Structure 1
Amino acid sequence: MADRTRLAVIGGGWAGLAAAVEACQAGAEVTLFEMASAPGGRARTVSAGAHALDNGQHILIGAYSASLSLLRTLGVDPAMALLRLPLQLRYPEQAGLQLRAGHPVPSFALAVLRHAGWPWRARLSLLRHCTAWALRRFECPEALSVAELCMGLADEVRADLVWPLCVAALNTPAERASARVFLRVLRDALFSGPGSADLLLPRLGLSDLLAHPAAAWLSGHGARLRMSQRVEALHASDAGAWLVDGERFDAVVLACSSVEAARLTQDLAPGWSGLARALRFEPIVTVYLESPGSALPSPMLALREGPADPAQFAFDLGQLDPRRSGQFSLVVSGAAAWTARGLDACAAACLQQAQRQLRWASTPRLLRVLAEKRATFACSPGLARPGSAIAPGLYAAGDYVDGPYPATLEGAVRAGMAAARQALPRSASR
């Protein structure tokens, strides 16, 4: 045991869990610190009275290879734990864009051509733009916003497709969202092979999907999990080692929030800490409703957002898990304007929106409203994100770390795995 690399992972969200699993597989002696009483971070199940509700409605896509690989490592079968659907943006009043199973490039082109809700000029314009983006290898200037990137598209296409895809992927309104990051997500969804654009909707609560299996796997592989323990101080020690609240480790992965990481590194690496501290955030509000006997036309629907209509998506939770029949969630992404009005006002507006835009067998009632005020960083054009390397033996992991993805579960998992590999020597077990 004395010859094994001692690694501290600070933070038990998806990035920290991914880092800890990667390090254990490499033979390291891992200790994971998490300030909350349970792992999972911003993708976990929370207690809400008589109901266990997720603290947000997360979606994966078929291109998220790292997340799917991690689930398999933990013994979670993605085919059982996730409902796989070809990409669709169905609205209550129209079928919307619906891809068929198979390779996403021809399926996307066919879906655009078959979209009866768009005039031919709009359909052909979208295909021309997508072809031009592909010929440029989905690259564009750093300073370009998604709204600027799509100025030439028809209003119908922007309203029905681009705006909801942008806010779903980047949690940032199109006028403030990075076109470069948006194009990277689009590229991976369309060009990562058959099924890469598929929607993967969790059938399980988020804690059962990853957090609990990861904690059990780590405990079974000798890792020490220290829940309800906030790290107060991080110091460099002798011979490149690190002291975490006075305890010596050979290397450290900071997988906590950017705010916590900035606090712990403000004296060690002021430049890195400053970049982390400068990040701005976008909230997400999830409104849970109950309506016995009701069902949506599909597990996920896009909704018409407007000045009095906050939500962009609705989910029929009973179609994901029959035990939750009659439960629904409405998601408000990029929700800063609504959180400023207060959660009660946001919930009331979502309830009224649901009654206007959806059909119900019984009058829906509010079950719970949950908000993540720092759900994601604001993915704006030209954003300077902190890198993973902070100092020798000290690395950052999180969905905010510099990389190709916005603040997604896949971005967190990839960052965690990469940080663990950087923190360990080529062979952690000597």
Structure 2
Amino acid sequence: MKLAIVGAGWAGMAAAVEAAGAGWDVTLFEATRTLGGRARALPAQRPDGVALTLDNGQHILIGAYAETLALMQRVGVSPSEALLCLPLALPYPDGTGLQTPRWATRWPAPLDAVAAIATARGWRWADRWALVRASLAWQRAGFSCAPHLTVDRLCAGLPQRVMDELIEPLCVSALNLPAAQASAQVFLCVMRDALFGAGYGGWAASSLLLPRTDLSALLPNAAAQWLRTHHNASTRLRLGARVLGLRPQAGGWQLQGSGWTERFDRVVWATAASPAAQAMRQAAHGTPTETSVLDEALNSWANTAEALNFTAITTVYAWAPGVRLSSPMLALRATPNAHAAPAQFVFDRGQLNPQDASAQGVLAFVISASEGERDELQARVLQQAAQQLGLHQLQALQTVVDKRATFACTPGLQRPSQAIAPGLWAAGDYVDGPYPATLEGAVRSGLAAARALETPPSSQR
């Protein structure tokens, strides 16, 4: 049975590993020459001429991302070596903020999170107990709420300090939307897994896992090497091969590219939402009139995917000789004028990878739900670094703006289903599921699509 996977991002690579392991004959198509999609390595150069590797966006994982961590382990990447594990903490440069005490780092969930809340520096006891009460109330409700609720309405009774220093940063980093716009139900799913779930490999679910290597090496490249090593005879990875057409053919699907056509029994479409919708729309237009049910299914799926709105993430990389933060990751304070301090977090890539001389002095500033032009955002971040970190000598290395980084995870959002049509599935962090647009969401969708392949096509209608 021949399977085509279109798109070699994290969802596509997850689907390829799972399907190849289940015995499918897999052909993986990727339009670019680089694996990883929106989470991949990016070559760069410091102002002093030293070459280095950045990423097309700074990412963070948590201990609850069991599917992603298990997949890394499966393809030969040791999570304990590739990721720096930090206990739940959102420290600010002045030392205040939420931090799990060292003596509580091995406590089971949710006691580790309770300890972090109880010892949060700069918080009043009223702040701490209000958050504990709210968390327990969410647990009693099964981490479920009315679908129309926003995060700020869910948390309406919490003190302002808790909102400013915990809820808002968590919401904007996980859902890439401010609390006033983000879905409370999806936020609760993240809180459930992070604070009350089981971690992977002995890690606490709430642990913050920061990549020590570039994102391509973290999973996509390792997955490709695993496929070559273990399933070379039944797997083909075609880089620089853009799929230009999709149409049903003899109980399967025909893919068309520049100068080639090939029939497959099953297809997993693992591109971003917009090109996926376009492909389905074109396939529907090319469907013969006698298969109008299929035409309707393709158009319906495309309609749902096209209705998604997207939000941007900007990562500003900056460098200065000898720069080192007090922690590998720091939260940055918002100001009354949000445009004056746009970044919510800063990462010290030199501390993340101390063996890499080129990474020393390199900082990554992350602006979730970013608005504005690249040069303007970069200038504001450098000014923010001077004001909040006392770093006046930083030089910009590279600023990456991903205008369609994540779908807007708003209340009551209808997301496209995994099953598109008989023998055709979608994979990506935007398909229907409990998680927002995260690496774990992408991996889960890819694995789920591959595991659905044995389902008879008639049941996918």
Instruction: Give your verdict on TM over 0.5.
Output: yes
Partner of 2:292: none
Alignment map for 1:353-368 (pairs within 5 Å): 353-360=384-391, 363-368=393-398
1:228 to 240, 258, 261: 240
What is the Cα deviation at residue 107 of structure 1?
Answer: 1.7
- Tell me, yes or no, if the aligned pair for 2:328 and 2:352 is still in contact at 8 Å: yes
Tell me which amino acid in the other structure corresponds to 2:217.
D
What is the letter of the counterpart of residue 363 of structure 2? F
Conserved in 1, the CA contact under 8 Å of 2:314 and 2:402?
yes
User: In 2, distance between residues paired with 1:29 and 1:260?
Assistant: 25
Contact kept, 8 Å, 2:110 with 2:195, in 1: the verdict is yes
Task: Tell me, in whole angstroms, the C-alpha distance in 2 between the residues paired with 1:179 and 1:48.
Answer: 38
Residue aligning to 1:130: 135
2:367 pairs with 332, 335, 341, which one? 332
CA distance in structure 2 between the partners assigned to 1:52 and 1:319 by the alignment: 15
In the other structure, the counterpart of 2:383 is 352
Task: Report the Cα distance in structure 1 between the residues aligned to 2:158 and 2:375, rounded to whole angstroms.
Answer: 36
In 2 relative to 1, CA 51–116 (structure 1 residues): closer, same or farther, beyond 3 Å?
closer
Q: Which moved more, 1:123-132 or 1:383-392?
A: 123-132
Query: How far is 1:346 from its partner?
Result: 0.2
- Deviation string for 1:341-385 (max 9, x for gaps)? x1000000000001110134x711111111111111010000000
2:288 alignment counterpart: none
Paired residue secondary structure (2:222): helix
Deviation, 1:192, is 1.9
What residue identity is the alignment partner of 1:181? Answer: V
Which 5+ residue runs of structure 2 have no aligned equivalent? 46-50, 285-294, 457-461
Q: Deviation per CA, 1:224-269, whole angstroms, max 9, x where unpaired?
A: 111111111110111x211011311000001011111101111141
Contact 2:113–2:206, Cα closer than 8 Å, also in 1: no
Aligned partner of 2:331 in structure 1 is 302
RMSD: 1.2
- Please, what TM-score do these two structures have when normalized by structure 1? 0.95
Over residues 327-347 of structure 1, what are the superposed CA-to-partner deviations in whole Å (9 max), with x where a residue is unaligned? Answer: 100000011x23xxx100000
Shift of residue 104 of structure 1?
A: 3.0
Q: Separation in 1 of the partners of 2:255 and 2:75?
A: 27
User: Post-superposition shift, 1:292?
Assistant: 1.1
1:125 is paired with a residue whose SS is helix
Per the normalisation by structure 2, the TM-score is 0.88
Q: Determine if contact 1:23/1:424 at 8 Å carries over to the other structure.
A: no
Matching of residue 242 in structure 1 with residue 253 in structure 2: yes
Structure 1 counterpart of 2:60, which letter? I
Structure 1: tracts of 5 or more residues without a match: none
For residues 12-411 of structure 1, the aligned pairs below 5 Å read: 12-49=8-45, 50-99=51-100, 100-102=104-106, 103-193=108-198, 195-220=204-229, 221-222=231-232, 223-238=235-250, 240-245=251-256, 246-266=261-281, 267=284, 268=295, 269-306=298-335, 307=338, 308-322=340-354, 323=356, 324-335=359-370, 337-338=371-372, 342-360=373-391, 363-411=393-441
Aligned to 1:418: 448
CA distance in 2, matches of 1:54, 1:375: 14
Task: Give the distance between the partners of 2:121 and 2:419, measured in 1 at CA.
Answer: 50
Kept in 2, the 8 Å contact 1:253–1:423? The answer is no
Q: Give me the whole-angstrom Cα distance separating, in 2, the residues matched to 1:247 and 1:112.
A: 57
The residue aligned with 2:289 is: none
Q: Are the equivalent residues in 1 in contact too, given 2:29–2:239 (CA < 8 A)? A: yes
C-alpha distance in 2, partners of 1:80/1:95?
29
**SS of the residue aligned with 1:176?**
coil
SS for the counterpart of 1:423 is coil
Q: In structure 1, how many angstroms separate the alpha carbons of the residues matched to 2:31 and 2:121?
A: 51
Summarize deviations over 1:270-303 as a string: whole Å, max 9, x none. 0001001111111100000101112111000000
Deviation at 1:425, TM superposition (A): 5.3
Q: Residue 274 of structure 1 aligns to a residue in which SS?
A: helix
State percent identity of aligned pairs.
51
- Structure 1 residue 423: Cα displacement: 2.0
